[in-house]
Structure 1
């Protein structure tokens, strides 16, 4: 075990940085008339285990903000002291009055914020569950509605008493959930709804001062532009994602921005810029270190990079290169990302067909339905299968393979 893993887990569950936790603790202390002196360095000492038992007033703040005991946060319990027996003395009136006043005031002084880490963590768990469902099944109306409902819940909590750090985190969650709704609407090809959600998410991300969600919104706007054939807008949105603060600080997000820019360049037919952006993305991905990041980022890795290479090579009319990249993507894409694997497989089917391998292409297209395991195909995936079907009828309209494939799967995708 390295450091205070319980505290690390609690902070990660709430989605806070060490600086944000320090700010939340200081807000709690200041609300009670005390000086807020907790720094992110102190939080780092707690996380690394260098400090195993905080000062008393900080202990109270930690318990109030997290809504649990010090032991549940991985700290050492207070030392047990034996009561000192003294001979009974006459009651001192002044001491008695001071003590009574302190007892009467203690409920007020010890009152915790109405909204704190537990509420934030509960909404974050909903966000994580929705992102996991999206990665497995793809976008659909029910997921979109659930994300918007959770976003509304996060905004509703703003009516309670909370520290500024908690309020920003609630805005951040609302932005992230609204972006999730936008993404699932985009995946279902409900483009007008996706754009509406993205506009709202961008405002909420600004209120939260959350550059991670801001990058997510710009990236999704870039994908929206690509899917609606507004390729110049798509590239501009990808470049806006590259300019976010988090893209400059974290190579993972830098790589995300570069891959999205590559998609825009390829759609505009700029092969050299596409290859350059892919190279930048690969270089940035090689610098990524383990760190806590939102669950929506978990899809991104070498497999997704190869998937983008396959997509851009297909757009640049290089089917052999698209085929090779698709196989590389499928070799490393995690099994739980079924929708992503199905999308790569559909593109692989198209690249095979474009090289004259109709029978192999049909076999790969069949695998798309097997990968989705009976779940309805999301709109974008249905569109890819539709592209394959139309290309098949164009290139081999009278072949036995085309007729059999169309007869067998017409009811599954129409």
Structure 2
């Protein structure tokens, strides 16, 4: 036998070091009324294959700790013991000692069922990726928030069955990410009170999971909430928190996104110099970004999305030509998988064209938003942008044929939806 690959694989999946496993087994030995004196060196002999079958009480403690039989852990019993069961302590004394000691043990050690490992977390992570892809394509829809909250509950429901800190942190982090996804769906639906409530929960869970990236995501989204509430001060405070988050200090891409949010907040407040300065900082930081692995929610952000956010800044500053140019560059680079973002950039392009008096072109561009989103219902956040366009068109050319045609079209779209 060359080593014990089964035990090694289980330890890796559960996130256990040799010292962790020795500690867990010693807890169980104490619960069985035995001295907890197992050493890391003994675990090393198991992994190397030098020891192929643990002794009686240690074997029982190992099985209790990992919720698996010795054979499932790759151990091979001696021939003389394969057909008989070794005598154990009297049941009454063993159970009494176990009951008294269990109260002092972590819940995860004494819970029933097989311990949760990294493989279980990976499966939940795949479901989150699917939800994120759906959000990228369609935006807010009826079941996304509920599905995300269900995923968070499933992750939290597994916390009590973990026996390692690394798996426990991953579960809290995943629950935070699921909850933040639910909150973002509320932003798209313009249910901002619900969004803030979910973000508060997500931030707490991110802290429990030591997840600095999701914490930054929360602050970034809270800046969006401040923007939608037309509260530049709140939007700027959240953007500053995103800039100062540990994840942003470590990752230029996240820092770039935080600077872009600050630029939007400054532009909303009418601070041209600060807004343009923040845009420059966002471009500089993005130029330093590398290809490291990141959560799927960050996939939307890159040069094209920065152009889209720049268009928002220029629109608020009254730079319609610059906003149109930035929107065109955004649409040239935003991937088709981010259909909702492409639709938003298209609506911004229509607003920029309208700001330059290009009524017919602007109406045609705005109409293409409906074509892009096909038969899917427009998220309220996108409908709000088109509502801004509608009011602007009526103000600019209230009696034109273009305005009448546009009004008839959106009325028909509204009835269809």
TM-score normalised by structure 1 residue count = 0.77
Instruction: Please give the alpha-carbon distance, in whole angstroms, between the structure 2 residues aligned to 1:346 and 1:26.
Output: 47
Corresponding residue number in structure 1 for 2:283:
282
1:118 shift after superposition: 1.4
Describe the SS at the equivalent of 1:32. Answer: helix
Residue deviations 1:250-300, cap 9 Å, x none? 111111111111111111111111111111111111111111100000000
Distance 1:202 1:382, change over 3 A: same
Distance 1:386 1:181, change over 3 A: same
Corresponding residue number in structure 1 for 2:336:
335
Describe the SS at the equivalent of 2:158. Answer: helix
Distance 1:206 1:102, change over 3 A: closer
Instruction: Please give the alpha-carbon distance, in whole angstroms, between the structure 2 residues aligned to 1:103 and 1:192.
Output: 54
Instruction: Please give the alpha-carbon distance, in whole angstroms, between the structure 1 residues aligned to 2:150 and 2:12.
Output: 28
1:109 shift after superposition: 6.8
Residue 140 of structure 1 contacts residue 185 of structure 1 at CA under 8 Å; is this kept in 2?
no
1:372 shift after superposition: 0.7
Residue 362 of structure 1 contacts residue 401 of structure 1 at CA under 8 Å; is this kept in 2?
yes
Distance 1:274 1:99, change over 3 A: closer
Gaps of 5+ in 2: 1-9, 25-43, 69-113
Residue 24 of structure 1 contacts residue 163 of structure 1 at CA under 8 Å; is this kept in 2?
no
Distance 1:104 1:349, change over 3 A: closer
Runs of 4+ in 1 over 6 A off after TM superposition: 21-26, 97-106
Corresponding residue number in structure 2 for 1:154:
155
Residue deviations 1:359-380, cap 9 Å, x none? 0001000110111121110011
- Pick which of 155-164 and 265-274 moved more: 155-164
Q: Say how many residue pairs are matched.
A: 340
Instruction: Please give the alpha-carbon distance, in whole angstroms, between the structure 1 residues aligned to 2:223 and 2:395.
Output: 30
TM-score normalised by structure 2 residue count = 0.76
Corresponding residue number in structure 2 for 1:222:
223
Distance 1:349 1:100, change over 3 A: closer
Is the counterpart of residue 353 in structure 1 residue 342 in structure 2? no
Residue deviations 1:70-98, cap 9 Å, x none? xxxxxxxxxxxxxxxxxxxxxxxxxxx98
Residue deviations 1:233-260, cap 9 Å, x none? 1000000000011111111111111111
Matches within 5 A, 1:3-42: 27-33=16-22
Distance 1:210 1:58, change over 3 A: farther
Distance 1:387 1:111, change over 3 A: same
Describe the SS at the equivalent of 2:294. Answer: coil
Instruction: Please give the alpha-carbon distance, in whole angstroms, between the structure 2 residues aligned to 1:98 and 1:368.
Output: 67
Residue 66 of structure 2 contacts residue 115 of structure 2 at CA under 8 Å; is this kept in 1?
no
Residue 11 of structure 2 contacts residue 17 of structure 2 at CA under 8 Å; is this kept in 1?
no
Residue deviations 1:104-137, cap 9 Å, x none? 6764576466110111011111111111111111
Instruction: Please give the alpha-carbon distance, in whole angstroms, between the structure 1 residues aligned to 2:237 and 2:192.
Output: 18
Distance 1:229 1:24, change over 3 A: same
Instruction: Please give the alpha-carbon distance, in whole angstroms, between the structure 2 residues aligned to 1:273 and 1:188.
Output: 30
1:31 shift after superposition: 4.0
Distance 1:98 1:288, change over 3 A: closer
Corresponding residue number in structure 1 for 2:312:
311
1:320 shift after superposition: 0.9
Matches within 5 A, 1:13-412: 27-33=16-22, 107-108=63-64, 111=67, 114-412=115-413
The structure with the largest alpha-carbon Rg is 2
- Pick which of 22-31 and 264-273 moved more: 22-31
1:140 shift after superposition: 2.3
